[in-house]
Structure 1
Amino acid sequence: MLLKLFSVVITVFIYLMAKKINKKLPGLLFSPIIITPFVMIIFLLLIHLPYEEYVKATSVFNAMLNVVTVAFAIPLYRNWNVLASNWRIILFSLMVGSLVAIVAGVLTSYFLGMGLRSEISIIPRSITMPIAVNLSKSFGGIPTLTAIFVIITSFVGVYLGPKLIKLFSFKHPLVIGMMYGMGANVLGAKKAFESGDLAGSSATLSTIIGAVMTVLWAFLLTPVILNFLS
Structure 2
Amino acid sequence: MLHPNIATSIVLVIMLYVSDISFGVYNTGGEYITSFLGVCIVVLAVPMYQQLRILKDNLWLIVCSSLVSIYCSFFSMLLFAKVFSVPGTFVFSLIPKSITSPMAIEASRITGGSESVAVLGVLVSGILGAMIGRFILDLIRVRDPIVRGCAFGMSSHVMGTTQALEEGEVTGSFSAVSIPVTGILTIINLPVFTRIVGYFFL
Same fold (TM over 0.5): yes
1:59 aligns with 2:37: no
**Superposition TM-score, scaled by structure 2 size:** 0.94
1:68 partner letter: C
* Mean Cα deviation higher: 37-46 or 120-129: 37-46
Contact 1:110/1:119 (<8 A) preserved? no
Work out the number of aligned pairs and report it.
202
Q: Distance in 2 between matches of 1:168 and 1:224?
A: 31
| Alignment RMSD (CA, Å) | 1.4
Please show how residues 97-112 of structure 1 align to structure 2 within 5 Å: 97-112=69-84
Contact 2:130/2:163 (<8 A) preserved? yes
Residue of structure 1 equivalent to 2:103: 131
Question: SS of the residue aligned with 1:67?
Answer: helix
Identity of aligned residues (%): 25
Question: SS of the residue aligned with 2:152?
Answer: helix
Query: 1:119 deviation in Å?
Result: 0.8
Higher RCO (CA-CA < 8 Å; seq separation 6+): 2
Residue of structure 2 equivalent to 1:13: none
Q: Distance in 2 between matches of 1:146 and 1:187?
A: 16
Structure 1 unpaired stretches of 5+: 1-26
* Mean Cα deviation higher: 154-163 or 175-184: 154-163
Residue of structure 2 equivalent to 1:72: 44
Please show how residues 211-226 of structure 1 align to structure 2 within 5 Å: 211-226=183-198
Query: 1:117 deviation in Å?
Result: 0.8
1:76-106 CA-to-partner distances (Å, cap 9, x unmatched) read 1111110111122211111000111122113
**Superposition TM-score, scaled by structure 1 size:** 0.83
1:117 aligns with 2:89: yes
Query: 1:168 deviation in Å?
Result: 2.1
Q: Distance in 1 between matches of 2:158 and 2:104?
A: 12
Q: Distance in 1 between matches of 2:26 and 2:110?
A: 23
2:89 partner letter: R
Question: SS of the residue aligned with 1:191?
Answer: helix
1:41-63 CA-to-partner distances (Å, cap 9, x unmatched) read 11112222221332232111111
Q: Distance in 2 between matches of 1:149 and 1:89?
A: 26
1:45 partner letter: Y
- Structure with larger Rg: 1
